[in-house]
Amino acid sequence: MSQPWSLKTTATIINQAGDDGLHEELKKRWAYVPGMMLMAIARTGEIYMHEECYDFMKRHMDLFIREDGRITGYRLEEYNLDQINQGKNLFLLMERSGEQRYEQAAHLLAAQLIGHPRTSEGGFWHKKVYPFQMWLDGLYMSSPFLAQYAQVFQRPELFDEVAHQLLLVEQKTRDPYTGLLYHGWDEAREQVWANPQTGCSANFWSRALGWYAMALVDSLEFFPIDHPKRGTIIGIFERMCSALYRVQEEQSGLWFQVMDQGFREGNYLETSGSGMFIYALAKGARLQYLENPARRKALQAYNGLIERYVEEDSEGVHLHNICHGAGLSLDRDGSYGYYIREKRVSDIHIGVAPFILASLEIERLQELGNRSDRHE
């Protein structure tokens, strides 16, 4: 029987390490993409009981976490939400190793968020250098970390903070006609990409919504069931998923780079955002946050992704049609033309990590279904 895709793809990344056991991309710097890849690999190890996956994650994290809990390459005063994401790995390290330095590093990252610059309604700026701007990306970087921190260190007031961030950005960026969320929002209406009336950017970028979908489902996992905003967060998650179904491409089940523009010239089915949606839908279905047809839609999209854009050869698993990157700034105006001009590439970690996470959730969902069938 063939190995699950999560294990095969994780093995592909681990096998790219040098003789020192370190991967060139993952040892370069403390950053959000390496952080997500290490989390995906460690989670594969936890689910399938492959200890080498945890060891691989720890080896790379230990390049950055010093004995006193300081983090090499990290500076709190940068106030950059992207720099929080790699910290999600600290909780497993604390649990498994008991080393104090990991806890100290987690406290350092939480201190950034507690003192983070904010909009007038308390929304985290995406970065200090992006004043009064909230981006969907930033909710994934910070919210699940802060929710898990609140649970581990018994800081219930921080659940209120997480709920406020998730609900505020949805309120500011949601389009009432499509139900989709715009990539970014500028409270000051100063940026070239910001609508002068709403402050929102101009388009619905798949990976931006993917980050937010994952932020919702990952944060909810840590919320107490009696938290006053938990049901509301689940409700906006369900509502957003209904909007995702409406723009899901019929044949493949995948999602476009610019989500509501279909096969408009230059648009394409993009795999990193699609992987994130598959993950969020499958996990939401598994944890019963989402109603039908979440499970079916996730499976359809996953099968379409495998059939069209995943290949396997002697070097391992390859993923194609990944948007290299996109943002919002003076030269990144958020227009349709901008998003479709960004490079399409294969095998970069910002696409592969969500594919591993999506594969794990689909595999867990299918195993639950099999167990259910056996008990009928």
Residues with a catalytic annotation lie at 137
**Which of 277, 271, 285 has the alpha carbon at shortest distance from 351?**
271
The token duo for 207 is: 């990976």
Rounded Cα–Cα distance for residues 200 and 189 (Å): 8
- Distance CA(116)–CA(24), nearest Å, equals 31
- Strand 316-319 to strand 310-313: parallel, antiparallel, or no bridges (unpaired)? antiparallel
Distance separating alpha carbons of residues 309 and 177, to the nearest angstrom = 31
Rg for the chain (alpha carbons), in Å?
Answer: 20
Beta-bridge partner residues of 312: 317
- Look up residue 287 and give its two tokens: 């944890």
208/275 Cα distance (integer angstroms): 12
Q: Decide: 137 and 210 in contact? Cβ < 8 Å.
A: no
Q: Label the pairing between strands 316-319 and 344-345.
A: unpaired
**Angstrom distance (rounded) from CA 210 to CA 154:** 29
Are residues 233 and 213 in contact, defined by beta-carbon separation less than 8 angstroms? no
Q: How far apart (Å, rounded) are the C-alpha atoms in residues 297 and 358?
A: 13
- ∠ CA 58-61-65 to the nearest 5 degrees? 120
Instruction: Give me the residues paired with residue 310 across strands.
Output: 319
